[in-house]
A and B are shown apart, each in its own frame.
Chain A
């Protein structure tokens, strides 16, 4: 589905650097989410947003910051990247409880 786009697809960064992962959706869905996927942990919710300018912490928010100034964008920033943040990050959007649509993911490696 071209409706939700994540960039970049792959990113290698150094410990301590700030990194921003982008997420853009074209459906005007109210809800947007950031998950990280790690072996043995499945998908864990980092942050979510119910609307522009409304965000809230998920299960694993430490070390991450989000913003949502526009409905269609939901960037995720790692303020000072650590090796434990090496993961695959998925953005998702939803209009209701009927189900979410996921982006293609960003594979982030912190060295």
Chain B
């Protein structure tokens, strides 16, 4: 079975700082990778996803992530964070050939990001 590890449980940054959140996964085959964001009191929203092709993917709100296959990593980045980026961020993985997602996404434990004005 697959697993996901997020290295930083809590991150505090000042506005305009650069952000990088780490995500590593464990799985022997091809995976699809996702980053979700959960703003306070809200449901999860998809930030970006990687299936194949260019390992640098761009998502909404200026976020991007880079898939490094050799490191089993899918780190999330943003050059300059804003106060409104305060949220919980989840990395998730699913085997690419799981037949429609029947096994469900496997999530990391999340990173709580606080941006100080």
Asked whether any CB of chain A lies closer than 8 Å to the CB of B67, the reply is no
For the complex, would chain B's binding face be called helix, strand, loop or mixed by DSSP majority? Answer: loop
Asked whether any CB of chain A lies closer than 8 Å to the CB of B69, the reply is no
Task: Report whether B110 and A48 are in contact in the complex, using a CB–CB cutoff of 8 Å.
Answer: no
Q: Which residues of chain A come closer than 8 Å to B100, judged between CB atoms?
A: 30-31, 50, 94-97
Asked whether any CB of chain A lies closer than 8 Å to the CB of B53, the reply is no
Task: Report whether B103 and A48 are in contact in the complex, using a CB–CB cutoff of 8 Å.
Answer: yes
Q: How far is the CB of A76 from chain B (nearest CB, A)?
A: 14
Residues of B within 8 A of A (CB): 6, 9, 32, 34, 36, 42-46, 49, 51, 90, 94-98, 100-110
Q: How far is the CB of A87 from chain B (nearest CB, A)?
A: 14
A-B contact pairs, 20 of them (CB 8 A): A31-B100, A35-B104, A41-B109, A42-B6, A42-B109, A43-B110, A45-B104, A45-B105, A45-B106, A48-B102, A48-B103, A58-B104, A90-B44, A92-B105, A96-B101, A97-B95, A98-B51, A102-B44, A102-B45, A104-B42
Residues of A within 8 A of B (CB): 30-31, 33, 35, 40-45, 48, 50, 56, 58, 90, 92, 94-100, 102-105
Task: Report whether B104 and A48 are in contact in the complex, using a CB–CB cutoff of 8 Å.
Answer: yes
Cβ-closest chain A residue relative to B105: A100
Q: Which residues of chain A come closer than 8 Å to B104, judged between CB atoms?
A: 33, 35, 45, 48, 58
